[in-house]
């Protein structure tokens, strides 16, 4: 999702000399293959949009995979980029690097101040090590390595496989299937009470290009809208957009995750960047994309 959005945004802005690989062409867990790729392509700038990504269920069932693969991917990219004298590196982490009970909205300063949310700590610890790797390179070598921490993302090319998807695409799919099958009710995970923030992936791509074209003085920047809502309100918004008329049942035997997760986005705003796409407009366009592509969705296995 993120890689293709950044790629398309770069192309739309007129960038031409782009080099990208999918996991079949280049397995980023393989250090020798990454080193060979860098030696041949000699990139000036690297944007790391690759990761092993998934929701609560996937993180819970595959802790080692989430910890190890994410560290392998980012370590190989960051270390090789440093050794190959890459001018600029953009590392994408996630808001789950911040503590479970971080003061809200979460500033970049709350990193490592208390315990992580246990359901995704494997992924979070890998991402924190990526942030620290970039920070230490900035400190030790004075290179422009930047870490951007997006909030929950959604948009075209999201994962709609219910076994591994995040909450927003899972809701789009469940309400859509509920509508098509005339189901009396749709069951959603948790209590509906946690609060979350969502950013359209096209806004993230815009933030990445902004970060590419501007030099920042520090390493770590939150990327979000700065606005959150309850999961229940999100469900009602998606239900309305999809046009599902049945009932919503909340399965509170399933985990809620962190009670609230809202980014403080003032540091990035001070640099001159703000999100532009409203949640309602973003969900409408994402649902249209879903309808155009629902027959070509892949199963996303971990
Ligand atoms: N989705 C979100 O809500 C969200 C929120 C905050 C941050 N982010 C961050 O954004 C980045 C991208 O996430 P996404 O949502 O775009 O996930 P995604 O759609 O699953 O994309 C992940 C990409 O990583 C590639 N990849 C995975 N393992 C690889 C490997 N061993 N070698 C090479 N490539 C590999 C995949 O390639 P293939 O397709 O070829 O397998 C895929 O293109 C991640 O760093 C994630 O932490 C995402």
Q: What is the largest CA-CA distance in the chain?
A: 60
The mean per-residue pLDDT over the stretch 22-31 comes to 97
CA distances (Å), origin 14, targets 10, 210, 272: 6, 14, 21
Under 8 Å between Cβ of 177 and 183: yes
pLDDT tens, 182-240? 999 999 999 999 999 999 999 999 999 999 999 999 999 999 999 999 999 999 999 99
> Which atom of ligand 1 is nearest to 22's Cα?
40
**Best substitution site from 3, 24, 51, 293 to test ligand 1's pocket, by max atoms within 8 Å of Cβ?**
51
pLDDT tens, 64-75? 999 999 999 999
The distance from CA 187 to its chain's CA centroid, rounded to whole angstroms, is: 25
260 lines ligand 1 (CB under 6 A): no
Cα–Cα dist 211/197, whole Å: 21
92 lines ligand 1 (CB under 6 A): yes
Range in 163-167, 222-226, 282-286 the model is least confident about: 163-167
**pLDDT computed for residue 300 by the predictor:** 62
**pLDDT computed for residue 57 by the predictor:** 76
The mean per-residue pLDDT over the stretch 15-41 comes to 97
Check 62, 123, 154, 221 and give the catalytic one: 123
The mean per-residue pLDDT over the stretch 104-124 comes to 94
29 lines ligand 1 (CB under 6 A): yes
Nearest to 92 by CA among 139, 146, 23, 45: 146
Cα–Cα dist 168/85, whole Å: 39
Alpha carbon of 51 to ligand 1 centroid (Å): 4
Cα–Cα dist 102/222, whole Å: 14
Alpha carbon of 257 to ligand 1 centroid (Å): 21
Sequence-separated (6 or more) residues with CB below 8 Å from residue 3: 20, 49, 50
pLDDT surpasses 60 at 85: yes
Cα–Cα dist 153/135, whole Å: 24
**pLDDT computed for residue 54 by the predictor:** 76
Local structure of residue 117 (DSSP, 8 states): P
**Best substitution site from 5, 23, 170 to test ligand 1's pocket, by max atoms within 8 Å of Cβ?**
23
**pLDDT computed for residue 301 by the predictor:** 57
Under 8 Å between Cβ of 238 and 172: yes
pLDDT surpasses 80 at 297: no
- For the full predicted model, state whether its pTM sits above 0.85: yes
């Amino acid at each position: 999702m993120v890689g293709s959005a950044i790629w398309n945004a770069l192309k739309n802005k007129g960038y031409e000399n782009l080099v990208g690989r999918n996991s079949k062409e280049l397995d980023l867990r393989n250090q020798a293959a990454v080193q060979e790729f860098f030696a041949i392509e000699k990139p000036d700038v690297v944007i790391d949009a690759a990761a092993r990504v998934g929701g609560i269920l996937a993180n819970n069932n595959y802790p080692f995979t989430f910890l190890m693969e994410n560290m392998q991917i980012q370590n190989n990219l960051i270390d090789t980029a440093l050794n190959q004298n890459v001018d600029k590196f953009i590392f994408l982490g996630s808001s789950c690097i911040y503590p479970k009970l971080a003061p809200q909205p979460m500033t970049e300063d709350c990193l490592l101040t208390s315990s992580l949310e246990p359901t995704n700590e494997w992924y979070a610890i890998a991402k924190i090590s990526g942030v620290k790797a970039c920070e230490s390179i900035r400190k030790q070598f004075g290179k422009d390595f930047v870490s951007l921490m997006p909030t929950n993302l959604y948009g075209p090319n999201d994962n709609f496989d219910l076994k591994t998807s995040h909450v927003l695409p899972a809701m789009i799919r469940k309400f859509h299937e509920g509508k098509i099958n005339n189901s009396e009710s749709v069951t959603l995970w948790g209590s509906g009470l946690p609060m979350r923030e969502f950013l359209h992936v096209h806004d993230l791509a815009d933030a990445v290009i902004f970060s590419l074209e501007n030099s920042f003085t520090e390493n770590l920047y939150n990327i979000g809208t700065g606005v959150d809502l309850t999961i229940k309100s999100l469900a009602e918004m998606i239900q309305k957009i999809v046009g599902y008329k049945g009932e919503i049942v909340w399965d509170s035997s399933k985990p809620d995750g962190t009670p609230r997760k809202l980014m403080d986005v003032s540091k990035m705003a001070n640099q001159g960047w703000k999100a532009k796409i409203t949640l309602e407009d973003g969900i409408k366009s994402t649902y249209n994309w879903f309808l155009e592509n629902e027959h070509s969705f892949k199963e996303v296995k971990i």
